[in-house]
Amino acid sequence: MSTQTELQDTINDMVDDHRGILAADESTPTIQKRFDAIGVESTEENRRFYRALLLDTPELGKYISGVIMFEETLGQQDDTGRPLPEVAWAQKIVPGVKVDKGKGPLSGAPGDLITYGLDGLAERLGDYKAQGARFVKWREVYPITPTNPTLLGLRANAEMLARYAATCQEMGVVPIVEPEVLMDGDHDIDRCAEVNEQVLHSVFHALRLHHVSLEHMILKPSMTLPGKDCRRAPADEVARATLTVLKRTVPAAVPSINFLSGGQGPEEATENLNAINRLRGNAPWQLSTSYGRALQQPAQAAWAGQQENRAAAQQALLKRARLNSLARNGEYDPSMEA
């Protein structure tokens, strides 16, 4: 199969008008934080049990088209010995994997960050493909301060995303390009819009320079929101600001935009997605989810590390996935939470 066909097949299997992506790719320190919050020890067996539970949720494939796994999960099996990528694909959920190696300070740009992991990426992609991954994710992180991101930060982070995406496409693996603008801080929604616009503009400029095929990637951006320490904005204000930024920066060739939740509560993230889709007008892309916390938090709380809570945890995940699927078409109402 040609690389082009491989990429297009994966896009066809992941992008439609009602499903979203489940981000379950928490690194070992991050899943430890999530497990600490529910009083569960982060052992390899507990991580396996929990992630197998998510992927095995009956009917999940009706609402979820792809799952981003952590490298460890890709090699794990369910209780019957089936590899977890196979468990996902059994209900037409495309398996993918996070390939970046985390972030650290960007030298020469105080306050900005940069992500590691390009060295040896092509070889690793070959291994991940052999384990069943058909798409991958890489996240660059942009804190907002009065002076960040700097011009150097914008350029360096965009360059990383573009080099990553070009390498993936060469290997026939669809890249999710994730420039995450953090919610931390007391900035207002206008400042967030200004930064998001600069970030996305620089990312698409770099993608162009690196000959990345826009038709064969998925964008995973932050919504345009006020900082966590600023007043909360109503959903229609978030929707208007988010759509304005996206329409100014994201070419129509990109098939799908799948938002991260970034610290929004589960219901807030659904409400904002719903408002975005109500206001979308003739926006050319699918506007969907790639939520981690906003999809998983209720499931983690319901599970609490107890085997007998498995079905309750699956119900909690399915509920969020279903409500977000309704929000894809602006058909969600908070009364449905009851």
Binding region for ligand 13P (CB under 6 A): 23, 25, 139, 178, 260-262, 291-294
Between 138 and 204, whose beta carbon lies closer to ligand 13P? Answer: 138
Least Å distance, CB 182 to ligand 13P, is 10
Least Å distance, CB 121 to ligand 13P, is 17
Least Å distance, CB 183 to ligand 13P, is 9
Active site residue 319: no
d(CA 130, CA 95): 12
d(CA 143, CA 162): 20
First to last CA, the chain: 48
Residue 43: which residues within 8 A CB-CB, separation 6 or more?
none
Between 204 and 291, whose beta carbon lies closer to ligand 13P? Answer: 291
Among 6, 178, 180, 271, the active-site one is 178
Least Å distance, CB 25 to ligand 13P, is 6
Between 56 and 100, whose beta carbon lies closer to ligand 13P? Answer: 100
Between 40 and 68, whose beta carbon lies closer to ligand 13P? Answer: 68
Contact 291, 297 (CB under 8 A): no
Between 48 and 139, whose beta carbon lies closer to ligand 13P? Answer: 139
Helix/strand/coil percentages in the chain, nearest 5: 50, 15, 35
Least Å distance, CB 139 to ligand 13P, is 5
Q: What tokens appear for 56 in the block?
A: 């095995």
Q: What tokens appear for 177 in the block?
A: 């390009």
Contact 117, 5 (CB under 8 A): no
d(CA 77, CA 59): 20
Least Å distance, CB 281 to ligand 13P, is 25
Element (H, E) at 289: strand 286-291
Between 178 and 271, whose beta carbon lies closer to ligand 13P? Answer: 178
d(CA 134, CA 176): 11
Q: Name the residue with the smallest CB distance to ligand 13P.
A: 292
Among 98, 137, 220, 319, the active-site one is 220
Q: DSSP strand E in 3-118: where?
A: 20-24, 64-69, 94-98, 103-105, 113-115
Active site residue 123: no
For residue 68, give the nearest of 135, 127, 139, 141 by alpha carbon.
Answer: 135
Residue 209: which residues within 8 A CB-CB, separation 6 or more?
162
Residue in the structure block whose two tokens are 């396996």: 48
Point out the residues that are catalytic: 178, 220
